[in-house]
């Protein structure tokens, strides 16, 4: 669809700044500020109508600032208006050199970005209510696990200095906290499984992913959330790039011959989970185990081989999801034949 008006929005906790430009006058911006609430969202549409702007010709662009964007995004989606969320880093690197900043200027730059890329704008589709619930539960579990790890390290440090300072009380209380957190993690995982069972599509994705060696509950849920249940990425190569597994060439002319390597711009949490999955798969899957030991014997660095195993896991994941049937180890049939 062709868009005529481009609206950049800079969102904060209590308010959002809006800058509007048109295809005919891309350097002329109109600015307004609204409360980040249901009332403010309605006032935004009233303001646009006041300027005699057809809403179906508008494209709303904004930075992804977490939960601050949720109110406005849900409102725009309910109104069936086109909008997109962009990574702050992506916007910053795409807009070139910039000096100074404030909310109005940021909104103006986002509107200008949308105008410059008007021929390839892709509207964002919010995750379903079940996915949002699952995302909150998973984030809560992640926080619990981090707190648990922090407390364990604290107890270790306190025990190391126990001969110098009496830390018994702190250690006892910390151990009680760890016990409570373990129970909370267990309960949260049950809630995660329950939330997945409420949605047939999520349940089917979890079943397919769990059939792949090396993919457990935590990794499967993280993959579902990162891919919006495998609707956000069209193929495994794009997802491999997103999570920092795909290697990229680094050359220029005849003088620069850098080694091919992965990019640090990645979802490092997914990459870490895939690393754990690769380590598990190397132990449990004969094909990957044979591949790993063969490549290491050939002199390949272990981390390079593990990254290749991560890539193979991603290919298996997308093949299994796209095919819609559980993963099958063909080697067992070759042996039987």
Query: DSSP assignment of 224-258, as one string?
Result: HHHTTTTTS-SSHHHHHHHTT-SEEEEEETTTEEE
pLDDT band at 48 (very low <50, low <70, confident <90, very high): very high
For residue 228, the cross-strand partners are none
With 60 as the cut, is the pLDDT of residue 167 above it?
Answer: yes
The pLDDT value recorded for residue 97 is 77
Report the distance separating Cα 270 and Cα 66, nearest Å.
18
Q: Are residues 57 and 49 in contact, defined by beta-carbon separation less than 8 angstroms?
A: no
* Domain final position from 71, 103, 120: 120
Q: Are residues 111 and 61 in contact, defined by beta-carbon separation less than 8 angstroms?
A: yes
The pLDDT value recorded for residue 333 is 55
Q: Do 331 and 240 belong to one domain?
A: yes
Q: Do 265 and 175 belong to one domain?
A: no
Query: DSSP assignment of 178-239, as one string?
Result: HHHHHHHHHHHHHHHHHHHHT-HHHHHHHHHHHTSTT--HHHHHHHHHHTTTTTS-SSHHHH
pLDDT band at 300 (very low <50, low <70, confident <90, very high): very high
* pLDDT tens profile 237-264: 999 999 999 988 887 877 777 788 888 8
- Whether 215 is covered by a domain: the verdict is no
For 24-42, what is the mean pLDDT? 94
- Whether 217 is covered by a domain: the verdict is no
| CATH number of the CATH domain containing 107 | 3.30.420.10
Report the distance separating Cα 322 and Cα 324, nearest Å.
5
The pLDDT value recorded for residue 141 is 96
The pLDDT value recorded for residue 262 is 86
Q: Do 22 and 86 belong to one domain?
A: yes
- Whether 138 is covered by a domain: the verdict is yes
- Whether 205 is covered by a domain: the verdict is no
The pLDDT value recorded for residue 93 is 85
Percent composition of the chain: helix, strand, coil (DSSP 3-state, to 5): 60, 15, 25
Q: Do 146 and 83 belong to one domain?
A: no
* Domain final position from 69, 85, 120: 120
Mean pLDDT of the chain: 92
Report the distance separating Cα 319 and Cα 313, nearest Å.
10
* Domain final position from 120, 153, 176: 120
With 70 as the cut, is the pLDDT of residue 326 above it?
Answer: yes
pLDDT band at 185 (very low <50, low <70, confident <90, very high): very high
For 204-223, what is the mean pLDDT? 95
Coil vs helix vs strand at 164: coil
Q: Do 74 and 30 belong to one domain?
A: yes
Share of the chain above pLDDT 90, in %: 79
Total domains, the chain: 3
pLDDT band at 202 (very low <50, low <70, confident <90, very high): very high
Q: Do 73 and 103 belong to one domain?
A: yes
Q: Do 176 and 275 belong to one domain?
A: no
Coil vs helix vs strand at 173: helix
With 80 as the cut, is the pLDDT of residue 130 above it?
Answer: yes
The whole-model pTM stands at 0.87
The pLDDT value recorded for residue 301 is 93
Q: Do 116 and 152 belong to one domain?
A: no
Domain that holds residue 173: 129-198
With 70 as the cut, is the pLDDT of residue 336 above it?
Answer: no
């Amino acid at each position: 669809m062709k868009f005529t008006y481009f609206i950049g929005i800079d969102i904060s906790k209590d308010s959002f700044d809006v800058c509007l430009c048109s295809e005919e006058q891309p350097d002329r911006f109109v600015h307004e500020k609204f409360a980040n609430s249901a009332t403010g969202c309605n006032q935004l549409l009233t303001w646009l109508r006041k300027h005699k702007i057809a809403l179906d010709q508008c494209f709303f662009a904004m930075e992804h600032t977490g939960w601050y964007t949720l109110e406005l995004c849900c409102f725009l989606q309910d109104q069936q208006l086109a909008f997109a969320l962009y990574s702050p880093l992506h916007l910053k690197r795409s807009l070139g050199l910039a000096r100074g900043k404030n909310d109005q200027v940021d909104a103006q730059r986002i509107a200008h970005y949308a105008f410059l890329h008007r021929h390839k704008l892709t509207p964002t589709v919010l995750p379903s209510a079940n996915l949002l619930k699952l995302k909150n539960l998973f984030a809560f579990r992640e926080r619990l696990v981090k707190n648990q790890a922090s407390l364990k390290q604290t107890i270790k440090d306190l025990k190391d200095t126990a001969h110098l300072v009496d830390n018994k009380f702190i250690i006892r209380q910390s151990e009680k906290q760890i016990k409570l957190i373990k129970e909370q993690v267990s309960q949260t995982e049950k809630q995660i499984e329950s939330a997945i069972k409420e949605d047939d599509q999520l349940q089917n994705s979890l079943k397919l992913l769990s059939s792949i060696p090396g993919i457990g509950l935590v990794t499967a849920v993280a993959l579902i959330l990162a891919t919006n249940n495998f609707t956000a990425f069209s193929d495994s190569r794009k997802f491999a790039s997103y999570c920092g597994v795909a290697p990229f060439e680094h050359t220029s002319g005849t003088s620069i011959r850098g080694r091919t390597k992965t990019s640090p711009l990645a979802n490092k949490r997914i990459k870490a989970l895939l690393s754990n999955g690769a380590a598990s798969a190397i132990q449990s899957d004969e094909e990957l185990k044979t591949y790993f030991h063969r490549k290491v014997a050939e002199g390949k660095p272990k981390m390079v081989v593990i990254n290749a195993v991560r890539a193979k896991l991603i290919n298996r994941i997308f093949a299994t999801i796209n095919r819609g049937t559980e993963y099958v180890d063909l080697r067992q049939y070759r042996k039987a034949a």
